Amino acid sequence: MSVTQMPLEQPTAAQAPLVAKPRRKLKERLWLVALQILITVLSVTFLVPTLWMISSSLKVSTEVFAHPIVWIPRDPHWANYVTAFTGHLPLASFIWNTVKIVVFAVLGTLLSSSLVAYSFARIDWPGKNFWFGLLLGTMMLPDIVTLVPRFILFRTIGWYDTFYPLIVPYWGAVMALYVFLIRQFFMGIPGELEDAAYIDGASRLRTLTQILMPLSKPVMATVAVFALLQHYNDFLNPLIYLKTMDKFPLAVGVKMFNDFEVQHWEIVFAVSTIMLAPILVLFVFAQRFFVQGITMTGFGGR
């Protein structure tokens, strides 16, 4: 038999996995490339409105709605941001009001939610499971259902047109989700650490503040980010409880600019960019704690 007539050798059973392995790796790489392309396209699609808003904040009025779209301003007008602060509306007051509301509301949320979560996680008392289930049940109740009773209550006690309705309730652990997240994390921390602290004479409050909370930085950061976004972007509650313009937060202030600067959209976009900037900075610096807190909650806390 000549060389050209010799039959081709078929891979043996032992060699088959070695042949299939490169093919499987090639398929995995192609799938990852296709997935990366899809994610990139979706990301760019979602970012287009934001990029257009930031670009428009540096344009003149004639470029904002020009056709075709002017993505890069020919002559960036940074004075639009100066005009936003020196215009008819008190932008600086809007920002300062937002800082006060967010700081005190987030601080109250962390402290009160930690205390309640510690009670549900570490202290045995009658009816604990019932009340914890009832607390979780409040998550199913739409916030709009209690809006009118809350307004009547706050107006009756003289809190209307003050910051109290936007701050004080959150010092009472009213957000069941935050209590649940912290409670799940506390339950994953070994109890031997608390026992050692009790032997050394530490009280429950000292154990919570000096042992559990320092070990729970990921979930605390997660709750802080959630609460900050909630109060920073809150539009409905300030609109209902506040009537004086000098007390409006930034979320309502952007709407005021939208109403007053209908002929100068570049100013509206400048104010919107100012409101967006802190959130972007927060995401960059808190992303690691945020992801860690979500992934570790409910999985042993460690």
Please give the Cα distance from 183 to 119 (Å, whole number): 9
What does pTM read for this prediction? 0.80
For residue 42, the tally of other CB atoms under 10 A from its CB is 10
State the Cα–Cα distance between residues 245 and 261, nearest whole angstrom.
Answer: 16
Tens digit of each residue's pLDDT (9 = 90 or more) over 190-248:
888 888 888 888 888 888 888 888 888 888 988 998 999 999 999 999 999 999 999 99
| Residue 51 confidence (pLDDT) above 80 | yes
Q: Considering the chain, what is the average pLDDT of its residues?
A: 85
- Long-range pairs of 237-241 with CB within 8 A, sequence gap ≥ 24: 237/165, 237/166, 238/101, 238/166, 240/147, 240/151, 241/151, 241/154, 241/159, 241/160, 241/161, 241/162, 241/165, 241/166
Nearest of 290, 260, 274, 297 to residue 81 by alpha carbon: 274
Could you report the per-residue pLDDT of 12-41, keeping only the tens digit for each? 555 555 556 677 788 888 888 889 999 998
DSSP-derived secondary structure for 6-32: SPPPPPPTTTHHHHHHHHHHHHHHHHH
Determine contact, residues 189/215, Cβ cutoff 8 Å: yes
Mean of the pLDDT values across residues 68-75? 83
Average pLDDT over residues 145-155: 92
Q: What percent of the chain has pLDDT over 90?
A: 37
Q: What is the mean pLDDT of residues 254-266?
A: 85
Give residue 13's pLDDT: 53
What's the pLDDT tens digit per position in 284-300? 777 776 665 555 554 44
> Residue 49: what pLDDT?
87
Mean pLDDT (whole number) for 109-113: 94
More confident residue, 261 or 256: 256
pLDDT the model gives residue 260: 84
Which tokens is 195 given? Answer: 């026992």
Percentage of the chain beyond pLDDT 70 is 88
For residue 11, pLDDT over 60 is answered with no
Model confidence at 107, pLDDT cuts 50, 70, 90, reads very high
According to the model, what pLDDT value does residue 250 have? 94
Q: What is the pLDDT of residue 5?
A: 54
Name the residue with higher pLDDT: 13 or 276.
276
pLDDT in the model for residue 14: 52
